[in-house]
Amino acid sequence: MLWRVLDANGGLPEEAKVCFANTGKEDEATLKFVNDCATNWNVPITWLEYTGGDPKFEVVDFDSASRKGEPFEALIVKRSFLPNSVMRFCTGELKILTIERFFKSIGIDEFETMVGIRADEPRRVTKMRETKRMPLASAGVSQSDVQAFWKSHNFDLGLSFADGVTPNGNCDLCFMKPMHQILSMVAEKPERAVWWAKQEELIQGRFAKDRPTYAQMIKFNEEQRDMFDPNEEGISCFCGD
């Protein structure tokens, strides 16, 4: 989507700004990809993070960006509550409101948001049609078009892609992902679950009450148990946009 904007306008339009809101739990490959886009396409990208203080956000960059979940943890401490599939306030605070606060800080109270939702994501298109512009969806762009586009470039996201999804995308062990996917990622890198287990211990709660705790997932992995449906689908979330 960003490339199409740049290509159509001979660069980034003066009135446009590109933002990346970092939760601190993205895979390192995601951070590198955002930085690669800025470097290879010569486009300024403003990196933002929630702070929980005053002001509630700060501007960072690739080198100073949080990599240990600091923004996300600051939000959990502030709320004294864990986000879940019903109350997904992490997306709102860490991404949507953080970007809105940034714009207000530079004197922009009204702006239009563009997101990279594709034409083959009808549920998400319907959900966001009234509040967001979706140029890829409007142009009929599909997943296969996106994959073909990146194959022609000298850099890419660098995360595995299988069965139409990028399992390691967004927050690494997000509770919105299917259980078998989370367990697979824990098996790949058990240290991923430590932060999540810490938050549940801190709040004495769970990100998902219908699932084991992240501490239990670590134990399951140690015992090499495979007890979840590999066909379970993830829950649609704005974080992927």
Q: Is residue 161 pLDDT above 90, yes or no?
A: no
Cα 106 to Cα 14, 80, 97: the distances in Å are: 14, 30, 14
> What token pair was written down for 7?
């290509």
Mean pLDDT across the stretch 153-170? 82
What mean pLDDT comes out for the span 40-54? 96
> What are the Cα distances from residue 30, in Å, to 20, 98, 186, 218?
11, 19, 18, 24
Q: What is the pTM of this model?
A: 0.89
Domain boundaries, the chain: 2-111, 179-232
Residue % of the chain over a pLDDT of 90: 82
pLDDT score recorded for residue 241: 44
Poorest-pLDDT segment among 84-93, 142-151, 162-171, 203-212: 162-171
Query: pLDDT of 7-44, one tens digit each?
Result: 999 999 999 999 999 999 999 999 999 999 999 999 99
Q: How far apart are CA 186 and CA 189, in angstroms?
A: 5
